[in-house]
Amino acid sequence: MSQIRLSDGKCDTHARRSSFINRVVENDLIQQVSYEEYREKVKHVYGGPKGAMLATASMLSLHIPLGKRLFRTRQFDLRGMKSILDVGSGAGQIVQHLLDFADPDARIIGTDLSQPMLRRARQRLKSNRPSLVAADLASLPFADASFDGITCGYVLEHLPDPRMGLGELARVLRVGGRMFLLTTEDTFSGAWTSRIWCCRTYNRRELWELCESLGLHWKKEIWFTRMHQAIRAGGICVEIEKR
């Protein structure tokens, strides 16, 4: 991971100041209540008005068109995958990309914790091709090595311990399978995302180290645009291979 490097002392001081501000802004509910209580809170958030506006918010923030370009240009290449799991499908934003750019015979399954979100996804997608299943990332209802590919966009931050979800993702992904992982980073913009959506953030280096310990190798970092890369916006977005 050549892009992960230690900063010099001056940058470290700035990082500590930024980290303090981020911690003040970031929503810490996930650390204050039990996982069961937090899980119900997430269901409430996404089942309500915020969830109803999710697709619109994703379009206004350009996540839908920029995400579509990532798949269209094969920065994450879906070709050859015969079974694909989208975790935390929300309003079906990534599932739509899978329908557009995966092989025509690929089996596509989407999951979400929120039943209302699954209903919104079905209405928005207007397709019976994907199977949509209510499921918790911390306990996926699939057999080991069930999928050639996994997409997981802005879901991992809804777990207090990423190992809970990454372990499940590693379990259901076959050896040699690839994953598109997108999650909220511990930046200032990430802290505001945390406050709006009641989620946590992740440190890039720490998440990389955890993935490697689980046999999930970061093949490459992906950025929506060069501007996103320059200002470290858009969160942590990586292609991962299970070894």
pLDDT profile of the chain (243 residues), mean per 10: 40 48 76 89 88 87 93 98 97 97 98 94 95 96 98 95 96 98 93 89 95 97 94 94 97
Give CA–CA dist 6/224, Å, rounded: 24
Q: Which two tokens stand for residue 119?
A: 């209903």
8 A C-beta contact, residue 243 and residue 215: yes
**What are the extents of the domains in the chain?**
9-242
Q: Which helix (H) or strand (E) holds 108?
A: strand 107-112
Give CA–CA dist 164/136, Å, rounded: 10
Q: Output the pLDDT for position 28.
A: 82
Give CA–CA dist 156/216, Å, rounded: 15
Q: Output the pLDDT for position 21.
A: 60
Q: Which two tokens stand for residue 87?
A: 């975790």
8 A C-beta contact, residue 224 and residue 189: no
Q: Output the pLDDT for position 18.
A: 52
CATH top class, domain 9-242: alpha beta
Q: Output the pLDDT for position 50.
A: 85
Give CA–CA dist 122/127, Å, rounded: 7
Give CA–CA dist 102/204, Å, rounded: 28
Q: Output the pLDDT for position 31.
A: 84
Give CA–CA dist 31/64, Å, rounded: 30
Q: Output the pLDDT for position 17.
A: 44
Reference 123, options 186, 51, 45, 189; nearest CA is 51
Amino acid (one-letter) located at 195? R
Residue 74 makes CB contacts below 8 A (sequence gap 6+) with none
Q: Output the pLDDT for position 75.
A: 97
